[in-house]
Amino acid sequence: MRTIPYHLFLQYFAGLSSATGSFILGTVIGWTAQTEHSIKAGDLGYEVSDREMDWLSTIFTLGAASMCIPTGFIIDAIGRRFTMLLFVPFLLLGWLMIAFSVNTIMLYVARFLLGMSGGAFCIIAPLYTTEIAQTKIRGILGCFFQMLITMGILYSYIMGAVCTVFVMTLSCTFLPVISGILFLILPESPFYYVMKDKPEKARSALQWLRGKNYDINEEYQEVEANVREVKENPVSLLKGMKRRSSLRAFLNSICLMIFQQFSGINVIMFYATDVFKLAKTGLEPKVSTIVLGAVQVIATFAALFLIDRLGRRILLMLSSFVMSLSTLGLGIYFYIKDRDTDIAQRISWFPVLCCCLFILMFSLGMGAVPWLIMAETFAEDIKGPASSISATINWLSAFTITNAYGPIKNAIGVGQTFWIYSGFSITCTIFVFFFLPETHNKTFAEIQQSLDRKKK
């Protein structure tokens, strides 16, 4: 059996540990899918209306959006590792407030706090993993962020199906403690130390990440060269964004973030149980939701092996195209269901297939790659703020699309709503084909040249 080289094992460990905050974010995302009906039935000891439940499902996205931009400045001020540790108490407080809540106001505040921390980890985890990784495994480590989100979602689906809301929520309070312990073990990013003129600490961190017997001189010189180039040509954020490479990277990232959310992913994840209930599949809705979560985890795991083999563009085009077909199929099913329930009943397996296919392809490409592209393409002098703006737009898009789902569904129908999502996904396929450069197996300098459309 082939063993993983020790210097790669350490990078995998650091990447997975830094992404445990993403696992917690996944539990936040999936929390409402299995608990919605129990909460509305008074399982927490007080009544929650349909509209209040809609806000509970989405208010965390506003919390995430509110924290992304500040996080971009915090990570440059105190470092990646200490920023991760900073948000652990907020995660713990959020889950405890839900578990012992006495009214919906406490739930709103708790979900907002959890969203703030989740938004912060959307910035920290991708940046940290790409900064500590060697080029050949940068794609794999970049996928850890999305993989642990899907595992967190599945965890919440399973716990929500077999436990009361209180017990499920209480089980989530242990997760920040585990993350905090792992963050204490991790080294700081070598890039951060070099930016702060701390070469000895940078070497020590890089040596930790590669093992004590690994020769880090060549890698350290590359990190130093990248940072030196930025420092020798200092520019303001505004001037930095005027560079052709930075502007293209920023616009590409913004577009991918919008396409990711307007594909309808969070509608399916937040309201998965309701989607299956509406479809009348014959399966217990909570079981169908768990199946959906399991498919997502398996597909994201598969993406780890494909991301550094097929490249970013192919995965994005393949996933967005098939996602478009899946939401097109869901739209057709619900359109038929509104007009002929007998036919819909005979093909009740079809929406489950479409949902599973959608999640499968989202996890293979559109889930992880936009975050990886964000971390790979921004220059060091704009990476923090530019990444924060991209992530903010992602979460605001998530809030918009999930809150618009109910009104649009009521106005034009469920089927027609899914056709809108299908249109966004196919537009993404066209965008990637014409405008997005490949970053697979390229150094930072090569990526910047590609964005500048310059030849080596």
Tens digit of each residue's pLDDT (9 = 90 or more) over 348-364: 778 878 888 898 899 88
Query: Which of 87, 147, 161 has its CA nearest to residue 119?
Result: 87
pLDDT in tens, 407-455: 898 899 888 999 999 999 999 999 999 989 888 777 777 787 888 775 4
Q: Do domains 1-186 and 238-455 have the same CATH topology?
A: yes
Scan for tokens 């809030």, then name that residue.
399
pTM of the model: 0.83
Question: Which parts of the chain register pLDDT below 50?
Answer: 1, 455-456
Burial 281-304 (b: 16+ CB within 10 A, else e): beeebbebbbbbbbbbbebbeebb
- Tell me what pLDDT residue 32 has: 83
How far apart CA 33 and CA 289 sit, in angstroms, is 8
The C-alpha atoms of residue 404 and residue 385 are separated, in whole angstroms, by 28
**3-state SS, one letter per residue, for the chain:** CCCCCHHHHHHHHHHHHHCHHHHHHHHHHHHHHHHHHHHHCCCCCCCCCHHHHHHHHHHHHHHHHHHHHHHHHHHHHHCHHHHHHHCHHHHHHHHHHHHCCCCHHHHHHHHHHHHHHHHHHHHHHHHHHHHHCCHHHHHHHHHHHHHHHHHHHHHHHHHHHHCCHHHHHHHHCHHHHHHHHHHHHCCCCHHHHHHCCCHHHHHHHHHHHHCCCCCCHHHHHHHHHHHHHHHHCCCCHHHHHHCHHHHHHHHHHHHHHHHHHHCCHHHHHHCHHHHHHHHCCCCCHHHHHHHHHHHHHHHHHHHHHHHHHHCHHHHHHHHHHHHHHHHHHHHHHHHHHCCCHHHHHHCCHHHHHHHHHHHHHHHHHHCCHHHHHHHHHCCCCCHHHHHHHHHHHHHHHHHHHHHHHHHHHHHHCHHHHHHHHHHHHHHHHHHHHHHCCCCCCCCHHHHHHHHHCCCC
Q: What is the pLDDT of residue 272?
A: 58
> In the chain, where are the structural domains located?
1-186, 238-455
Residue 285 one-letter amino acid: P
Class of domain 238-455: mainly alpha
C-alpha dist (Å) from residue 186 to 16, 29, 221, 223: 11, 26, 22, 19
The pLDDT assigned to 455 comes to: 45
- The CATH class of 1-186 is mainly alpha
Buried-exposed string 235-261: b where 16+ CB fall within 10 A, e elsewhere: eeeeebbebebbebbbebbbbbbbbbb
